[in-house]
Structure 1
């Protein structure tokens, strides 16, 4: 099979195309002929050597989410899976390849009305966005801030919050990203690279905001947390700014603000599975549209990582074997 390997931690150019033996599924596993592989920001951190609680052993084939057709099954697996179009996690690694192994328990059939690329884009980001949205329990008329609003998760959160009747304020770092957020329903868009964005947010929400979905972290966290009013919810879920923001949860609690960490979303395998199924259902029904902003051939995975690190990408980035 064709694959992309990182022999050591480092910059994007440590990713190199190669040829490896075709994997053979063992007990409880299937092989997927990959048609699309999702790249996550976590992939870029793992490649750089930042295990963030999930260290990898080099050399490694990165990639934890693929879509494609099941073309081989383990001896104990129901053979009706053969030929099924699925999206699935791969157990943490192995997705940057033309074939990948997956636990049969992790398989999701791609529903009618959704193509495999969109389904792959919804696998991890859809699960995260739906889980965050459910946890936030948004009420009609609330002011909801989505930072990193043009990212894979952010584009979905803008749609979900808008559908809940919220006044969505989208934060992103460029004009094209802000335009994308407006197209998805954001009522207000602010470029957080401009020095006066906090003042502009105060003008839009002089009494504070109700919910913050924080996908950027870093310095934005301090500014946003200070603007959540009593009864509000703060949901940190990413560090696109290079590091997680500093949150004083006890102090926020004293102000009546709940902090809902990402690791509390989907606390069990069955709950994570349900969240993916729900995201796929919403996608198939047209209620949730994944934004696949760019695709790269498998062999150009290094270019894809460089683009994500440079924060020039919009929506989801996919590799196409």
Structure 2
């Protein structure tokens, strides 16, 4: 099979498109003919040798990637034959191997893809969608809500805008540059503004006519977070799920005592509860997409151009969920 392999930690150019052995499904596993593989900003940090949330450092050489969608084409021992030929999507967990034409995973991780989703959209919902559902557990949105969403043209931001609008909230979307601002407008935000414009907070205040922001969904941090939280009214929420503006490697979130709440992975999982909270959130995300209430934005790259996809992510040159297609 063809796959993207990493032999040495470092820049995006270290990702190479190679031919390697086909993986074999073990007991309780399926092998998926990959049609779409998700790319996450965390992948860029792992590529450089950061350990991130992984329990152990990445062993080299490796095939990066932990989100795949495709067709089940081989079964391991003990897997029911009904899975053969099904369109499926799965998050591989801590096991890498997604940037490839074939990937194996435990059948317990697999979801059948709803008929109205293509493979790239399904990948977006299994990762980005799952995270969005986790974030939304911490806010009750309704007609009285005013939601401010930095990075509203990104994968999570796109879904947050849609969900908040469906809940009847007034939605303010921030994005960097006119192209991204236009995307946020088309996605349904009541107001879309460029956070590179120093006057953006004043534009938000003028649009709201004295109404305060009730919740900031913040995955950016930095100056954008400082200016966003200044727009919150009494009792407002600052929900922090990332700080890309501060750098993924050594940045720190911007937090306001008594206002900010960090809702990173383990916190989301505890809130979801149940015997398998991660799968619970995945099912919620796929259900929302199947019902047409959420439509993920996707930016596609050929598998062989994984290095270009990483560079685009690192320079904020992407919109929506980044996906590799073999």
Report if TM-score (shorter chain) is over 0.5. yes
Q: Does 1:81 align with 2:87?
A: no
Q: How many residues align?
A: 315
Which of 57, 60, 66 pairs up with 1:58?
60
Which shifted more, 258-267 or 308-317?
258-267
Q: Does 1:24 align with 2:24?
A: yes
| Distance in 1 between residues matched to 2:252 and 2:205, nearest whole Å | 20
Q: Deviations over 1:245-290 (max 9, x none)?
A: 54445x2x2xxx3514223113356222122112112212211111
Which residue of structure 2 lines up, in the alignment, with residue 271 of structure 1? 277
In the alignment, is the contact (CA less than 8 A) between 2:150 and 2:173 conserved in 1? yes
Which residue of structure 2 lines up, in the alignment, with residue 13 of structure 1? 13
In the alignment, is the contact (CA less than 8 A) between 1:67 and 1:116 conserved in 2? yes
Which shifted more, 299-308 or 191-200?
191-200
In the alignment, is the contact (CA less than 8 A) between 1:148 and 1:171 conserved in 2? yes
Which residue of structure 2 lines up, in the alignment, with residue 140 of structure 1? 143
Deviation for aligned residue 1:98: 0.4
Which residue of structure 2 lines up, in the alignment, with residue 111 of structure 1? 114
Deviation for aligned residue 1:201: 2.9
Deviation for aligned residue 1:220: 2.0
Question: What SS does the aligned partner of 1:101 have?
Answer: strand
Which residue of structure 2 lines up, in the alignment, with residue 295 of structure 1? 300
| Distance in 2 between residues matched to 1:228 and 1:79, nearest whole Å | 54
Which of 300, 304, 307 pairs up with 2:309?
304
- Show the 5 A alignment for 1:241-260: 241=245, 242-243=247-248, 244-248=251-255, 251=257, 253=258, 257=259, 259-260=261-262
In the alignment, is the contact (CA less than 8 A) between 1:86 and 1:107 conserved in 2? yes
In the alignment, is the contact (CA less than 8 A) between 2:242 and 2:253 conserved in 1? no
| Distance in 2 between residues matched to 1:258 and 1:295, nearest whole Å | 34
Q: For structure 1, which runs of at least 5 residues remain unmatched after alignment?
A: none
Which residue of structure 1 lines up, in the alignment, with residue 243 of structure 2? 239
Deviation for aligned residue 1:207: 4.8
Q: For structure 2, which runs of at least 5 residues remain unmatched after alignment?
A: none
In the alignment, is the contact (CA less than 8 A) between 2:241 and 2:262 conserved in 1? no
Question: What SS does the aligned partner of 2:310 have?
Answer: helix
Deviation for aligned residue 1:102: 0.9
In the alignment, is the contact (CA less than 8 A) between 1:148 and 1:240 conserved in 2? no
| Distance in 2 between residues matched to 1:280 and 1:52, nearest whole Å | 26
In the alignment, is the contact (CA less than 8 A) between 2:88 and 2:110 conserved in 1? yes
Q: What TM-score comes out, normalization by structure 2 length?
A: 0.91
